[in-house]
Amino acid sequence: MTVFDALFQQLIVLKRHLDQAAVPFILGGGMGLWLRDTFMTGPRSPRYERVLPSRSTEDLDLLLTADVIIDPIQMKDLRDTLKDLGFAAVVNYMQFQRDLTMSGQRQTVKVDLLAAPPHEDRLTEVKINAPRIRPKKAKNIHAYLTQEAAGIHISPVALDVSSALEGTEHAEIRIPSSLNYLVLKLHAFKDRHEISDTNPDGGRHHALDIFRIVTDMRQSDWKSAQHHTSTEKEMEYLQVAAYLQRRFFSTVSALGAVRIRENQSYQNERATFDTYLPLVLNDLDELFSDVENPAEDVFARWGLRQ
């Protein structure tokens, strides 16, 4: 049994219980990308025929929309569901872990809770002790306040994963839209791009995820992304993402493109992927072309350097 198989089984169990409790979520992170690779239907772009292998993960990143993080009943139900399923808090109270044995192998499954920021007129309903956020009327449950997830509710992709289940059972998992995934990954790369003793990766796996997301976009993803940028282009989270794209992923010599090429899975197919890279960068330029850079006062608020 692979890591993804074990994670998938736990994901389905968690989804069933949260459905019963009426607690919706969007699955992000590496597991969301693996589900997309495995269950997404429709033709890929003929420009990008080669598929990158999924990278391993042991996390389930549950993205909570703004209407969920302000709801004390839903957050209490989420807390109780995790406890009932044997998940214990390892980072109080927004990262949870369960150790189990599957097919004779010890497996650790982690659940990270991340939340979109509430609208300004609902801030009185939450308690924020950055980076933690929770409803004021719910205790022992938090999420990581993720400002760049402000548009996560826009056009999530529903994946039918029933083919991997036994019998006639039906299950559907929502993952972020391609544009929202790009926004999240651009911010993740910004946070990790400087190499250090504690960060030897330099964000290269986030950079490769950006490459992967663009090469995997269907026509429907592209239209959805264009609509998203058109309607949200005045929003700070999108303007900051556009700035990061221009800073790190605008040319083949930009740091983000360098980090893409440093990945072993890229190196394994370099002759092919070197032909893809300029096209991917052009696609990114086009996706964010109508979004202006943020105003000067936004840079400090988002931890950016001009």
Q: CA separation (Å) from 221 to 55, 77, 89, 240, 292?
A: 22, 33, 36, 21, 22
137 lies in the same domain as 233: no
Which of 140, 158, 176 marks a domain boundary?
Answer: 176
HEC string for the chain: CCHHHHHHHHHHHHHHHHHHCCCCCEEEHHHHHHHHHHHCCCCCCCCCCCCCCCCCCCEEEEEECHHHHCCHHHHHHHHHHHHHCCCEEEECCCEEEEEEEECCEEEEEEEEEEECCCCHHHHHHEEEECCEEEECCCCCCCEEECHHHCCCCCCCEEEECHHHCCCCCCCEEEECCHHHHHHHHHHHHHHHCCCECCECCCCHHHHHHHHHHHHCCCHHHHHHHHHHHHHHCCCHHHHHHHHHHHHHCCCCCCHHHHHHHHCHHHHCCHHHHHHHHHHHHHHHHHHCCCCCCCCHHHHHHCCCCC
Task: Report whether pLDDT(27) > 90.
Answer: yes
Residues 73, 120, single domain; the answer is yes
pLDDT band of 304, cuts 50, 70, 90: confident
Instruction: Please check the confidence at residue 306 and state whether its pLDDT lies above 90.
Output: no
Nearest to 224 by CA among 169, 259, 177, 271: 177
- Which pLDDT band, with edges at 50, 70 and 90, does 286 fall under? very high
Which residue, chain included where needed, has tokens 């300004």?
Answer: 120
**Is 65 within 8 Å of 153 (Cβ atoms)?**
yes
Instruction: Give the pairing of strands 59-64 and 105-115.
Output: parallel
Indicate the pLDDT class of residue 3, thresholds 50, 70 and 90. Answer: confident
> What is the C-alpha separation between 278 and 302, in angstroms, rounded?
29
Residues 275 and 167 placed together within one structural domain of the fold: no
Kindly tell me if the per-residue pLDDT of 188 is higher than 80. Answer: yes
| 209 and 114 both lie in a single domain | no
Same domain, 123 and 163: yes
Domain that holds residue 305: 178-306
Identify the band that residue 178 occupies on the pLDDT scale cut at 50, 70 and 90.
very high
**Per-residue pLDDT at 199:** 84
Q: What is the mean pLDDT of the chain?
A: 94
pLDDT at 205 over 70: yes
pLDDT at 250: 98
pLDDT top residue among 241 and 200: 241
Greater pLDDT, 264 or 104? 264
What is residue 237's predicted lDDT score, i.e. its pLDDT?
98
Residues 150 and 282 placed together within one structural domain of the fold? no
The H or E element that residue 300 is part of is helix 296-301
Q: Sorting pLDDT into bands at 50, 70 and 90, what band is 259?
A: very high
- Tell me, yes or no, whether 288 and 166 share the same domain: no
Q: How many domains does the chain have?
A: 2
Last residue of a domain, one of 144, 176, 208: 176
Q: What pLDDT, on the 0 to 100 scale, is given for residue 1?
A: 64
Q: What's the predicted TM-score (pTM) here?
A: 0.95
Q: Can you tell me the mean pLDDT for 237-257?
A: 98
Mark whether 110 and 195 lie in a shared domain.
no
Question: Are residue 142 and residue 123 in the same domain, yes or no?
Answer: yes
* pLDDT for 167: 74
CA distance 300 to 274: 36
Do 155 and 192 fall within a single domain?
A: no
The verdict on 144 and 188 lying in the same domain is no
Q: Is the pLDDT of residue 110 over 90?
A: yes
Between 104 and 184, whose confidence is greater?
Answer: 184
- The alpha helices in 109-263, defined as continuous H runs, are 178-192, 204-215, 219-232, 236-248, 255-262
Do 12 and 85 lie in a common domain? yes
Asked which of 129, 159, 176 is the last residue of a domain, the reply is: 176
pLDDT in tens, 51-82: 998 887 889 999 999 999 999 999 999 999 99
